[in-house]
Each structure stands twice: as C-alpha cells, then as structure tokens.
Structure 1
Amino acid sequence: MPRNRRPKKNQTARPRSAWGTVIPRFDENGGIIAWQVRYPNPLAPGKRVQRQFKPWQELDARTWLEEEKHLVDLHNKGIAEWKHPTQRKKDKLQEFREQEQRHILFRDYVAQWESNYKLPNGGEIAGGTRRNLKLDIRHFITDFESLRLSEITPLKIKAWYDKPHPEGQWAFRRSCMRFKAILESATKPGLDGTAPLLQFNPFIFPIPPAPRSSRIDVSPVTPRELMLLAEAMPEYTRLSVFLSTLVGGLRCGELCGLRVKDIDLDGQTLHVRHSVNRGSMDRGEIRYSRTKTESSIRNVHIPDALMSMIRQHLHDYCDMRLPDSPVFVPRRARIMSQTTLEEQFAKARVKAGRPDLTFQGLRASHATLLMLRGGTLREVMNELGHTSEKVAIRYYQLTVVEHQSQIVDRLAQEFMDE
C-alpha cells in the first residue's frame, strides 16, 4: 500500500463503499490532507470518476458520492442521462451565461454589436464608417436603452417608427437598417454555441425607401465655374479642384492621401492608392488609410492640358526629394485632413456662385462630362473606381438639359429627313 494511503497510529482505515470509495490522503506526519472520492464511470467501463475534497470535508465527500450514485442509478434505469461532473459544471456555467444574456440591457447589447462590427470581408471599418455607425445608432438608442433586449416588442418599435424624425429621411432610413440588423443578430446563435437571445426579430416594419438624392439635380460644373472655384481656393490646394473634375474624379479623402510618388509625370499617370482618416476608432491625428473600396485603387491618365499646372504645383509646394511627402501640404499638420480641404472648398463654391457643389459634385461632373464626350459606361466606371453600374448611373451621371434637348432634336430631325 502506498505510504500516503497507510493508516497511521490511532487511525482506523475507512471501509470502502460497495459502489465507490472515499479515500483519505495523508501527509508525512500522518495528518489527513485531502479526501479523494472515486466511482466507476457508467459511460466508460474500466475508467473512474473522481473528485478531491479538503481535509475537513469528509461529510461533503460522502454526501457527494451518494448524490452521484443516485444520478448513476437514474441513468441505469433509463430515467435521466448521466453526464460527467465536469460536463455538468460546464453546462451550468453555460446556462448561467445564457440567462445573463437573456436579461442584457439593449444598450449593452448594442455596444457589443458595435464593437464587433466588421466589413463583409472581416476587415476593420474605417473611422468615418464608425462615426456614421454611431450617428445611426444615436437616432434610436435613447428610446430603448433602458429596456432589456427581450422587452423590445413590435409595438414599442412602432411607436418609435411612427413618430417624427427631424434627422431627415436619409438618416431615418439608415437608422431603420441598423436597428433591424442589430435585432436580427440577436436571433442567431452565438459564436460559442450559445442559444439565440431572441426567437424572432421584432423589427417587422418595412425599411423606408431611399429618398430622391439632391445630388441628381446638380448640374455639372462649367469651365468658367471651375476657374472661379480654383481662383477662390488657397493657392496651395487650388490643384485639388482640377484633379477632382478632370483627373479620375478623385474623392476628397483621395486628394488628401496623394503623395509625390503617386504622380508619374513621365508616364502621365496618377496612382490612387490611399485615402486619409483618424484610425478605426475615429480618434487621433490624421493618417494615411486604405481607399473607400478595393476598386477605388486605380491608375488614371493625366491629360496634357494639366501637366504644366501639376509640375508647377509640385515645384512650388512639395518636397520632391521625399517620395512619401504629401502633394497637398497642410499649414500646421503632417497630412491634409478632409475637414480642412472641404472647409476651403465650401467657401470657394459660394464665391464661385455654385453653393450646391461639393467634391462629390465635381466627381459626378467628371463622370457626366466624360459620357457626353463619348466615354463608355465601363470607361467611366474604371475612371472613378466603381463596380456597380446602378451607382454609377444613379449618382455619377448628371442630366444636362441642353444636351438632352439637342439629342432629341437631332433624332427627330434625322427621322423627318428620311
């Protein structure tokens, strides 16, 4: 018999149970240091289930053995399935977690959902996207934040859905989409196998249709207006309006992300490789980041008419010795921010008599003017870095009334001449 199982002087060995055992464990001086309980595993013949108790827990050890025997008896009689004590402990912990999740407050669930929000490819979202996400959530969270997730019903959602929404139609539509997506995620099993928190999605109402975009009615910029815009911009960012209108329809963030090495003067090519933001949490200093989409990475032709202007800008405002230095050098920061460039443009467009224009409007002008001069839809999409024909047609091909009238007149005249 091993030393730590030998009864010491004045100690009596405990009798073995007919089914399991409660065995004392001794130290070198004969003192009990633990009680070890064992019994046969009913699911694995030849193996034993065991548990150890503290020296003062002999009664607890024997009570546990009797309780385990009862569970095994129920299993052998086909009344209840026996599970290993370790598995039972895991199941109990899992049940506790699920109960805790079922009582989670809506605001806490939304916070979890937002922190785990990813791009469809699993990548981190940009800072601007996270900012928009927070804005969308803000429009409905105050009405539901004190409720448990399970307390949100279609009736309560309808009260929010039907009330006035001063944030506007676009914001209301986006909020509905976010709200529905959040609740839908609660109807799915957890990644750890936990049961869904909701049996069905209580957001049963239709997503409002997309309102007509005001951008559709904006007319393309004219050559005279472009010159007035350029004259109203600070000299060190004047080139930006020409690039957005005549070279690739660059977005504001793409303009800010341009570096000296992105302009190939010999090959007359501009490489769009980056945008800018403040990081995934939309905090901190401006930094270079990925473009809006993968298709936004593109190479666009620099027209002959702009070559001298670009050369002059690079000579006057850029450090050509450093390929990574920015094309648009800010006055007080390392990298130009979209906010700064947009504020400059906002003042310039008023002076130019086109307060309706934005950098997005210049981008749409570029697409429209290319089409009017014979560019194909595929060429325009490549120029702007688009993959969706629907988006390209809806938002980036503006209607020019005079041109539309001219082609209708020309069509009719050709038929009448025949």
Structure 2
Amino acid sequence: MATLDPTFSRSVSGHVKLRRGKLRSTWYAKWRDAQGVQRERKLGLLWDQKGTAPAGYLTEKDADAQLQAILTDARRGAVEQVRTGVTFDVVADDWLAWGLRDRDWKPSTASDNRSVVNAHLLPAFRGKRVEKITPEDIEQWRDELVDDRGASRRTANKCLIVLGAILERAVKVHGLLRNPAREVAKLRVRYDPNQYDFYSPEEIEQLGKGAASDQDRTVFLTAAFTGLRMGELIALRWGDVDFDTEALHVYGSYSLGTLTAPKSGLTRTVPMAEQVRDLLKDHQKRVPHARTDLVFPGERGEFLDGSALRRRYKKALENAKLRKLRFHDLRHTFGSIAINQATIVQVQAWMGHADVQTTMKYMHHRSRAGDAKLLSAAFRPKKKAKPRSTAAAHAKPTTASA
C-alpha cells in the first residue's frame, strides 16, 4: 500500500540563471527540491528583442514564470508524493506482459520492446523505485546513451518512448502520481542522406547472380523491385499476385512464427515492374503447387525461416562481392529508385508508410538534373502572338477561276 514519504518535508526554493555563450545565451532554472537535492533544468534561449518571443526563446519574465511552475510542482510533490514500493524492473515486466495480453502486440513488436528494456533501460533503472526517477535522471540517461554508449539520436528517442510508456503504466496501475518522462523532450534528429545506402539496378542484378538458388534470387530481386518487407515476402501467396493488372497485393506479414497484418496495419497494392512480373512467372513454373500456395515456400511447403533467409542473403553478398547492406536496405533501394519516377504520394502508398514524413527521406536521392529546366520553363515569359497586318485582315478571299 502506498504511504507518505517522510523525506519530503523541506522547503522548496530556486531561481533562474542566464548563461551567456559566444553566440547565444540560455536560461536555466536552478532549485533545491524537498529532499534538499540541487536541481537544474534548461528552459530556453534568451529573447531580448522587441515583440513576442518565438518558440524556444524566453524573456526573463517568461523564464521566471516557468521556474514558478517548476517550484509549484515540486512543492506539490513534497506534500503528495508517495512511496509506491514498486521498482522499475517490476513495472517493466508488468508492462511487457500487459502489451502481449491486452494490446495484442505483434511478436516482432514484443521482441523489439523487450530488447530495449533489457539493453538500455534495466541497466540504468533496475531496482530503483519509480517515484525516485526524476526528469533530470532521464535526461542524463538519454544523453549518456548518445554521448557515452554511441547510440544514435533516433535510438535514444525510441528508448525514451518505451520508458515513457512503462512509467505511464506505473501511473495507471502502481500509484505513481506523475510520469517524469513527459517532461523530457526527444532529441532532434538530423537527417543524414548517407544514412540509407542502397544498391543500383546494376548491383541488384549482381546480387541475383550471387544467390545460391533460383528461389533466393527471386526473393532478393522481388524485395528490391517492390519494397516488400521480409515478413511480407514470406507471407505472399499466389492469390496476392495479379498478373493481369501487374500488381502485388500485400495482405499479411509472417514473423517469429506468427502471421499478422502488415506493419502499418493496412493492406496495400504495389505495381509489378516488368522485371518482377517476368521473375515471378518463371518462378511460378518451378514451384510445386500441390503442397502450398505460398510464393516462396520452404522445402516442405512451410513458411520460410527468416533467419536462414537472412544468412543466405549475406552469403549472396559475399559471392557477388557487394558492399554489405542489410536485407531491409533492399526496401530502401526500392524507395530511393522509385522516387525518381513517381510522386512522393505514390511511393508512400506503395511502401505502406502511415506518415509521408517517413517517405520524405527518399527525396534526398531524387535526381535534380531536370530541376533547372523546369524552373526555367516556369519563369519564361509567354511569347505574344504576332498581330495580323491590316491589309491581311481586310483582304477579301480569292475565288478560284472556272
């Protein structure tokens, strides 16, 4: 049962501090909490010009108002905060079990979440009572992930989302009054065009030559020419292949022994380039239909083993003497090449992205060769029609002689 924590009894006080830098100055809030611990939080950049401060900038009055809100929360916590008696690892286990039981997580989602918990969260918060976890603790952990452990900002943000979900579970079920992760901002992710490497059409053909079997070759090339994920390729059935309309219909995905809906939760249709159409027609002649209607079956007609397929893919890269990209980068290959011939909305639909911002990363790979010509045509003045001469305008039509 939750009980009042007697350590929350000291007065709470603080002040704002301006730290001046070479290029800009930053407001910080500094205060001593109810336990006598000195705290500090970055508030925003100094705004000392006329007019309303833009987002991220604060006047001294704005900074002081934020400080007062922090002190109010700290004083309220001194009175209301309770001992939940539950540690972070207990709540994390409960959250993982709840996700599988009540949220119907896909096996891959459950596996990803458990990996985040085991690799990044438990080493930092195991054994710690959840009410003792502060926003400052979380900020420090987030920054150490990137600065000390070499995690990308994207990975740190993903871990922060999982941590926030676990602590939200603690609020709803385990008596935690407030979720401290809500007060911690995600890191800004700077898109790097080189983050997504991809193969050229010539390299895709080379990859196919390195495959150990005709089926593996067809799987690899279909992945690159359609953007289907590995699980979607494994779940693909001949009924999903429409040679008449030259389209593939993506209805499901297979992963970790379970057949589920595609990642976005929505079915989609992907056009078949002639390379895919010809590949699949040839492949259809070789696949025994008596056992299964899977396009890419295992030896006994079962779903392919994704791990084994991934190993054969790596071996094909070695045989083809190609630089090592992940199987998933075949999907990026499709997006990066398709964006040069289609609109971003079309590529979004073909790849099944719920948010167009996910598709925007491929715009960096779009050829700019014709951009100047397009703008030149847009800004070129229209030529005025030459006026007809007066004589021509009033000339009478001639009649043919008899």
User: Residue 370 of structure 2: SS of its match in structure 1?
Assistant: helix
* Equivalent of residue 125 in structure 2, options 144, 155, 168: 144
Q: 1:174 to 1:310 in 2, by over 3 A?
A: same
Q: 1:314 to 1:215 in 2, by over 3 A?
A: farther
Aligned residue number for residue 410 of structure 1: 373
* Equivalent of residue 99 in structure 2, options 81, 97, 117: 117
User: Residue 117 of structure 1: SS of its match in structure 2?
Assistant: helix
Q: Tell me if 1:383 matches 2:350.
A: yes
Cα distance in structure 2, aligned partners of 1:372 and 1:156: 45
Aligned residue number for residue 260 of structure 1: 238
Structure 1 letter corresponding to 2:176:
L
CA contact (8 A) 2:133 2:180 kept: no
Q: Percent identity?
A: 20
Residue by residue over 1:225-278, the C-alpha shift from the partner in whole angstroms, topping out at 9 and shown as x without a partner, is 1110111112221112222232x3211111111123322334433221121112
Structure 1 letter corresponding to 2:282:
Q
Cα distance in structure 1, aligned partners of 2:96 and 2:372: 55
Q: 1:142 to 1:315 in 2, by over 3 A?
A: same
Q: 1:409 to 1:357 in 2, by over 3 A?
A: farther
Q: Following TM superposition, by how much is the alpha carbon of 1:103 offset from its aligned partner in structure 2, in angstroms? A: 0.8
Q: Tell me if 1:276 matches 2:254.
A: yes
CA contact (8 A) 1:252 1:341 kept: no
Aligned residue number for residue 277 of structure 2: 307
Aligned residue number for residue 37 of structure 1: none
* Equivalent of residue 206 in structure 1, options 156, 162, 185: 185
Cα distance in structure 2, aligned partners of 1:382 and 1:203: 33
Aligned residue number for residue 104 of structure 1: 86
Q: Following TM superposition, by how much is the alpha carbon of 1:413 offset from its aligned partner in structure 2, in angstroms? A: 6.6
Aligned residue number for residue 135 of structure 1: 115
Matching of residues 118-197 of structure 1 within 5 Å: 123-138=103-118, 139-154=120-135, 156-157=137-138, 160-163=141-144, 164-166=147-149, 168-169=151-152, 170-187=154-171, 189-190=172-173, 196-197=175-176
Q: 1:415 to 1:351 in 2, by over 3 A?
A: farther
So what's the TM-score if we normalise by structure 1? 0.61
Aligned residue number for residue 365 of structure 1: 333
Q: 1:319 to 1:129 in 2, by over 3 A?
A: same
Larger Rg: 1
Cα distance in structure 1, aligned partners of 2:277 and 2:133: 60
Q: 1:215 to 1:315 in 2, by over 3 A?
A: farther
CA contact (8 A) 1:215 1:361 kept: no
Cα distance in structure 2, aligned partners of 1:398 and 1:330: 38
Q: 1:215 to 1:239 in 2, by over 3 A?
A: farther
CA contact (8 A) 1:183 1:203 kept: no
CA contact (8 A) 2:253 2:261 kept: yes
Residue by residue over 1:309-362, the C-alpha shift from the partner in whole angstroms, topping out at 9 and shown as x without a partner, is 31221221x22245x432223347821122222222223334445425334333
So what's the TM-score if we normalise by structure 2? 0.63
Q: Tell me if 1:341 matches 2:309.
A: yes
Q: Following TM superposition, by how much is the alpha carbon of 1:123 offset from its aligned partner in structure 2, in angstroms? A: 4.3
Q: 1:140 to 1:314 in 2, by over 3 A?
A: same
Aligned residue number for residue 220 of structure 2: 241
Structure 2 letter corresponding to 1:291:
P
Q: Following TM superposition, by how much is the alpha carbon of 1:130 offset from its aligned partner in structure 2, in angstroms? A: 1.1
